[in-house]
Amino acid sequence: MFLLIIGLVVIMALAVGWSIGANDAANSLGTAVGSKVLNLRQAIILIAIFGFLGAFLQGSYVTKTIGRGIVPMDQLGKNISLYIALVASFGACAWVVLATYWKMPISTSHSIVGAVAGAGLAIGAPIKWKVLLDIFICWIFTPIGAAVLGYIFYRIFKNIFYRIISRRFIKPVMATLIIVSGCYVAYTWGANDVANSVGLLAGSGVLNVNISIILGGAAIVLGIVTWGYKVIETIGSEITNLLPIMAFSAQLASAINVHVYTVFGIPVSTSHSIVGAIFGVGLVKGLRVLNIRIIREIITCWLLTPFVSGIISFVVLKIIMVFIKIA
């Protein structure tokens, strides 16, 4: 039974990684696809490469927060830790897959954090409420900060870019900047979000951090390749029509925003960041260019995410506890 639970924990962690790749791939180069700089296949290849690099090189920062920062998994009994990891991964994955089917760019960070808290409450484990409060505050500022940066960057770049670049070089230079900034977004996404997949795997002691991150990165790549195109369509073209200079401004703003949080080990939403950045650059032209209906639907899913995934993991673990004694 013990080995079976370990196997299921690993499988669910990989499933979360797959769902992250499927839902969040759009956050990196969806804007590049929307502005016609890259086609879908080119974007997916670049996202896979740089997302894995980010996970491998800097994924450990946030992994520690997810694995032990919300519920102290290393201080609980082995069985309790394993069941929390299993059920929280299931709750997060279930909601992310459903949102991806709806083509909604939700936060996998919010989903796993809510699921961990829900599982911890169900089993009576101690919850680090201060850490949760700090994360929640950062969640609020993530889209706001990205929107401010996006607005500022687009204001600056649209005024100076065409003055300093020769007309015949504008198109290739702009395309290069969009691709480079999109790859930077993919890198920071991999660094921040791989923890959502394998933080619990490492925190429960099933595998060490490095092996967990490699497996999580591979699962994310699989999600990008198999189902990543769905949300790319929403990010790339349904929030606002993006000119190349707008895409570059949004991607640079989002990448810097997420990278700062990653260095401090804070699990934030790359979805919130890129949507906030796109909203910011769109504001330069006025609210009329923004698809308010899509934005309203996205925000609704954002607000629901930690509660829905938390409720799923809470209920599932309570049901399991009816039939299995966990100690």
**pLDDT beyond 80 at 90:** yes
State the pLDDT at residue 85.
92
Instruction: Give phi and psi for 326, each to the nearest 5.
Output: -105, 120
State the pLDDT at residue 287.
60
Tens-digit pLDDT profile for residues 207-243: 888 899 999 889 988 888 887 766 666 655 555 567 7
Q: Would you kindly state where each structural domain of the chain is located, as residue ranges?
A: 2-323
- Average model confidence (pLDDT) for the chain? 85
Share of the chain above pLDDT 70, in %: 90
Share of the chain above pLDDT 90, in %: 36
Higher-confidence position of 29 and 131: 131
Instruction: Give phi and psi for 269, each to the nearest 5.
Output: -95, 120
**pLDDT beyond 80 at 297:** no
Q: Which two tokens stand for residue 246?
A: 């707008």
DSSP notation for 301-314: HHHHHHHHHHHHHH
Q: 161: exposed, middle or buried (C-beta count within 10 Å: 0-12, 13-18, 19+)?
A: middle
As a whole number, mean pLDDT of residues 295-310 equals: 82
State the pLDDT at residue 327.
62
Tens-digit pLDDT profile for residues 146-189: 999 999 999 999 888 888 888 888 889 988 998 999 899 999 98
Handedness of CA 104, 108, 114, 120 (dihedral sign): positive
- For the beta carbon of residue 300, count every other beta carbon within 10 angstroms: 12
Under DSSP, is residue 181 helix (H, G, I), strand (E, B) or coil? Answer: helix
pTM of the model: 0.84
The runs of H, that is alpha helices, within 72-227 are 78-101, 108-123, 129-164, 170-203, 209-227
Higher-confidence position of 293 and 314: 314
Region label for 243, one of left (φ > 0), alpha (ψ between -120 and 50) or beta (otherwise): beta
| Cα–Cα distance measured from residue 128 to residue 116, given in angstroms and rounded to the nearest whole number | 11
If pLDDT is split at 50, 70 and 90, which confidence band does 33 have?
confident
Amino acid at 70: I
| Cα–Cα distance measured from residue 321 to residue 299, given in angstroms and rounded to the nearest whole number | 34
Q: Are 276 and 150 in contact (CB under 8 A)?
A: yes
DSSP notation for 186-232: HHHHHHHHHHHHHHHHHHTTSS-HHHHHHHHHHHHHHHHHHHTHHHH
State the pLDDT at residue 20.
83
Instruction: Give CA 255 to chain center in angstroms.
Output: 12
Helices 26-34, 170-203: inter-axial angle, 10-degree rounding? 160
